[in-house]
Amino acid sequence: MKTIFHLDMDAFFVSVERILDPSLEGKPVIVGGDPHGRGVVAACSYEARQFGLHSAMPIRTAFRLCPQGVYLHGHGKEYGRFSRAVKRHLERYFPIVQQASIDEFYLDFTGCEKIYGEPVQFAQKLQSEIWEKFHLPGSIGIASNKTIAKIASDFKKPRGITFVPIGKEKEFLAPLPIERIPGIGKATFPMLRSRGFKVVGDLANASPDYLSALLGKFGTDLWEKANGKGNDILVTGHERKSISKETTFDKDLVSKPKIEAILFELVSEACQLLRNENWQTSTVSIKLRYTDFVTLTRAKTIEPTDDDKVVFEIVKDLFEKSFNRRVGIRLIGIHLSKLNHFTEQCILFEDNGTIRKRMLRAVMKIRDKYGFESIRIGKTEID
């Protein structure tokens, strides 16, 4: 049997915002944008959750429940920087690290006891190191498979550690409400409740054929999860198929220069991601959504590149050809696809292109260490 850790960073976006601005400590903080706008809550502090707030709640509802909260647009680039730093720290210890999202990681501890000691003891050490080095709180679940480890990491938040011994999975799950099982959402939950399923034990004791007839393949998967079974294979080396960046405006925009400036920022962020993973893009697309919700997309195939200047020139051209209606823009986005790995080869004679590639990689390293805003590539250069 394997030993799997699931590290889930506690209120990760809020934790990063508090590092950037310590005055937010102890306050109800909501990341998601203008409380009078169209967005949703991306994350909220535990102080805010006491008022009934939760992720994915409409931001206007959140403001009605907690008008005294501190509402922030957030710093997406900083979240990515801290996430990469945590991952690098984890890779010092674990032979296999699977990043499930920006703030959660599966870690294979199997066979590491002889090196690091007992799982709970090492989890305490890891939790303390992440706090001391990054000032980020996290909770850890430890179990024989990924499903149980993920449920366990949410058991004692914040900064909790929950260990489920081998053979005790079903016992651990039985008293928990059914919504603790990953995959039971807004549609499935009321249907199961209406049929008498309240706790996970009810699902475990049901007939697998009945759940299969009720929910198809998901019903079979649900029965297995309720009985403590789950996948213990960590997936690494997942390759991106595309990179997308978009933004919805609080107020519809009609100013072409302002929209182009926002496109420039989106291109900068997307190309930074390309270089972080040694990718180049061959297809550049844009998306425009007008005030009346008419949505247009345009794309162009190009020679592989990760250069902000090249990508922005394509994006700007596509935008100029698409922005031809006398109504405002409510959403703008870019999409980079057909990604290929970039391998930098030894070059005997440098030209301007080679120098620029090295400059861009130097910019990448500085941003990774000190933050995206620490160095800028001027828009004047691109124009």
Give dist(CA 300, CA 285) in Å, integer.
Answer: 6
102 contacts 83 by C-beta, under 8 angstroms: yes
Locate 302 and state its tokens.
């190009």
Which are the catalytic amino acids?
A: 104
Q: Report the alpha-carbon distance of residue 133 to residue 130 in Å, rounded.
A: 5
Kind plus residue range of the DSSP H or E element containing 279: strand 279-290
Sign of the four-CA dihedral 112, 115, 118, 124? negative
CB 54 within 8 A of CB 41: yes
Is 236 within 8 Å of 95 (Cβ atoms)? no
Burial 225-238 (b: 16+ CB within 10 A, else e): bbbbbbebebeeee
Which amino acid belongs to residue 280?
Q
Residues 6+ apart with CB under 8 A from 275: 306, 360, 361, 364
